[in-house]
Amino acid sequence: MTVFLLLYLCADGTRTDCQVVRADSWSGPYAYEQCTGVVPGLTKAMTASNRKRHRFVCEVQGNAAEPAEHKAPRAFIHQSFRM
């Protein structure tokens, strides 16, 4: 199993207009636990106003076959952000 740590950079607190940036990834049986273990520290390191707009999410990318109704994963776009 592979887990991606995604950073959702959102325009405002509604989190409806967001850019997704892959921040890190882990592989193996404990990948999800490793990812969720770093999220609180990263979130705490953000300023209070950024915590309201942006968020970190751990997303599992399984190796098993996906059901037919599964949507394709989002494409990651390389961009430079200044905060």
Handedness of CA 20, 25, 29, 34 (dihedral sign): negative
Contact 4, 25 (CB under 8 A): yes
State the pTM of this model.
Answer: 0.68
Give the span between the Cα atoms of 73 and 79, in whole angstroms: 18
Q: What are the residue ranges spanned by the domains of the chain?
A: 2-61
Tell me the per-residue pLDDT of 52-70, one tens digit each, with 9 for 90 and over. 999 999 999 865 544 444 4
DSSP letters spanning 25-67: EEESTTHHHHHHHHHHHHHHHS-HHHHHH-EEEEEEE-SSPPP
Tell me the per-residue pLDDT of 19-37, one tens digit each, with 9 for 90 and over. 999 999 999 999 999 999 9
